[in-house]
Amino acid sequence: MQNNKLEIKPIVDLLDESFYIPAYQRGYRWKEKQVQDLLEDIREFYLTSLNSEKDTFYCLQPVVVKQREDGSWEIVDGQQRLTTIYIILTCLKDIPSLLCKAPYEISYETRAKSSDFLANINEDQARDNIDFFHIYKAKEAIKSWFDEQEDSDKHNSIKTPLINLDNKSVKVIWYELSDYEVPTQVFSRLNVGKIPLVSAELIKALFLKSSNFTSESKSKDAQSLLQLTLSQEWDTIEKSLQNDAFWYFLSNKNLESNRIDLLLSLRASDHSEIENSKDELNTFLQFNELLNEDNFDMVREWKSIKRLMMTLEEWFNDRELFHLIGYLITEGKTISEIMRLSKDSRDKQHLRHKLIGQVFNLTFDAKFNALSSSDEIELKVRNHLSELDYESKNLSKIRRIFLLFNIVSLLSNPKSNSRFQFDRYKSENWDVEHIRSVASDMPEGISNQMKWLTDVKDYLDKSPVDKSAFKLDEADQDKKQRINNEINQILQAQTFQQNKFENVYKSIIEIYDPSNAEAVDNSIGNLTLLDRYSNRSYKNAIFPIKRKHIIELDKKAIYVPLCTKNVFLKYYSQNLDNMLYWSSNDRDDHHDAIVETITEYFFKNGAQ
């Protein structure tokens, strides 16, 4: 069975070809900016290449085609790019005479007149249909771009790479479908499913080319088996990366498919010092160049990629490395940086110490000294936390502190197998929020106020906390019943009564948040991590309602970060005389717990 073919072709190699646009393709729709962006990219490539003696090229995105019985090519993906290049060629009228070739032909299954219009783009017919209009506007954008260029050699900056003069060329990734591929199905996957033909898929096609497995020492059956094995191993790796727990440990990107691209990019960086290229297909281009080298061993290269995958899995399965690396990745480090750190380490223990130092440096913006005393570390931690509050525009640093607090809390018990769920943390958007709401946060708008009252009523009706050892006194119990009756009246009334809501609100706050009249508490001791839903739904709720919500999530085994759960269960509080509100003493105890837990972790691990 013949595989899909993949190669990189210069535009000049397409000039003798005929392309067919099937009915399932939409018409030409590129905007003026897209057209001129392409021209700018080609021109920038040309000007940059003038300083290079090497053969260089500018690579267009993939064109996916399948050959028809008459020898023409059905365009499955890439119609917009090929049509734009065609229009540019018609504007550069001297190209045919230079090459003795005409621009390639484009025909249409259902829009026959479009072929004639492409050959003779004019304003008179431009408004006959929407396709003609966009084609005409594209040509006008090209002419306008040329007219605006100050360089007298403006045409050459486009013409030279298009016709491959001086070995500076525009090329296209040519992806030819095999006989067994159904074009409409491929089109649906690439367009309707919004899954582009990215580096990973292109590299897979490169690796699986039959020529890579041709060897005089191996039979055809052995070569086919090797090819099949590589394909299966590729799919196994991609399946492993589909595990969100593994993926979000390695990356912050929300990718649904082709996650193996991360692994391929890592391996490509071993072959090249060039990183962070703007070209989305940079990894593919690097592998394409490698596979074209005479001494390149594809099988050995694939083994190196598998070993790289094994290293990532080893880190994932090591509980401490999982948390340290996961933290650094979450806070902006790349897996490439971690890999370089690993290569510079003598062994796993050396890597662990380096990671701990990186975590401390990143969090506290201070170099970690493994010989520091506990008091020295605590002073740095306290000084850093003293600079952070909710209004200081340092929410990212506060979020970082709470993430670290959760991670070192988990790592402080080596017998536990609990893990921080980076996948849930990233996908559910956990963020910093107040533990105790403040008076200025009284809900605004009738719908929000109705929701607030409904939550309070639900709590007053069902909450078991008032029946515990920390129940309300008799006077407050009577007040609670009166408030509940007033809430029922407000909720059942035909017209919402704002003044009654405000009175009920004040009465509830007096019972469940007696410190509410104090200044707004934006200190780190009154903050914690809450998921986006809780932020939105319980932002203004009194403490017992927030507490009840967190307990309900935990009962249902819905992920709640360890330290968030501990806060609302008051595990950090030294005095449990009242579970109904969050006091200044609770705040201070929480703050101290953050400092002490973090200090203890870095002191114990630095002293080893």
Whether residue 284 is contained in a domain is answered as: yes
Whether residue 63 contacts residue 78, with contact meaning beta carbons closer than 8 Å, is answered with yes
Residues 142 and 13 in one domain: yes
Residues 252 and 368 in one domain: yes
Q: How many CB atoms lie under 10 A from the CB of residue 581? A: 18
Residue whose entry in the numeric block shows the structure tokens 């009228």: 93
pLDDT of residue 449: 84
Give the whole-angstrom CA distance, residue 208 versus residue 3. 8
pLDDT of residue 465: 45
Structural element, H or E, at residue 386: helix 374-386
Q: Which two tokens stand for residue 584?
A: 């200044």
Whether residue 65 is contained in a domain is answered as: yes
3-state secondary structure of 433: strand
Give the whole-angstrom CA distance, residue 370 versus residue 356. 9
pLDDT of residue 35: 93
Q: Which two tokens stand for residue 457?
A: 């009523």
Last residue of a domain, one of 334, 353, 374: 374
Residues 156 and 44 in one domain: yes
Last residue of a domain, one of 353, 374, 395: 374
- Residues of the chain below pLDDT 70: 1-3, 96-98, 150-153, 165-166, 191-197, 210-218, 273-280, 438-441, 462-477, 515-520, 536, 577, 607-608
pLDDT of residue 211: 67
Last residue of a domain, one of 343, 374, 405: 374
Residues 143 and 282 in one domain: no
Domain count, the chain: 3
Sheet holding 73-77, edge to edge: 5-10, 168-176, 56-67, 73-77, 18-21, 105-108
The DSSP secondary structure of 532-562, one letter per residue, reads HHHHHHHTT--HHHHHHHHHHHHHTT----H
75 bridge partner residues: 65
pLDDT of residue 424: 92
Residues 461 and 585 in one domain: yes
Angle at the Cα of 159 from the Cα atoms of 22 and 142, rounded to 5 degrees: 60
Whether residue 543 is contained in a domain is answered as: yes
pLDDT of residue 196: 55
- Among 453, 531, 449, smallest CA distance to 486 is for 453
pLDDT of residue 470: 46
Give the whole-angstrom CA distance, residue 526 versus residue 329. 27
Residues 351 and 459 in one domain: no
**Alpha-carbon 40 to chain mean position:** 28
Residues 78-95: pLDDT tens digits? Answer: 999 999 999 998 888 777
User: How far separated are the first and last CA of the chain, in Å rounded?
Assistant: 60
3-state secondary structure of 65: strand
Residues 471 and 329 in one domain: no
Identity at 365, one-letter amino acid code: D
Whether residue 135 is contained in a domain is answered as: yes
64 bridge partner residues: 77, 175
DSSP code for 186:
H
Residues 95 and 32 in one domain: yes
Whether residue 404 is contained in a domain is answered as: no
Residues 238 and 338 in one domain: yes
Whether residue 212 is contained in a domain is answered as: no
Residues 173-224: pLDDT tens digits? Answer: 898 988 888 888 877 777 654 455 677 888 888 887 766 666 656 677 777 7
Domain assignment of residue 468, given as a range: 439-597
pLDDT of residue 550: 87
Please provide residue 215's backbone torsions phi and psi, each rounded to the nearest 5 degrees.
-155, 135
Whether residue 443 is contained in a domain is answered as: yes
- Among 170, 176, 171, smallest CA distance to 64 is for 176
Whether residue 401 is contained in a domain is answered as: no
CB within 8 A of 255, min separation 6: which ones? 247, 261
Residues 134 and 41 in one domain: yes
Residues 184 and 232 in one domain: no
pLDDT of residue 193: 47
Residues 490 and 563 in one domain: yes
Which pTM was predicted? 0.75
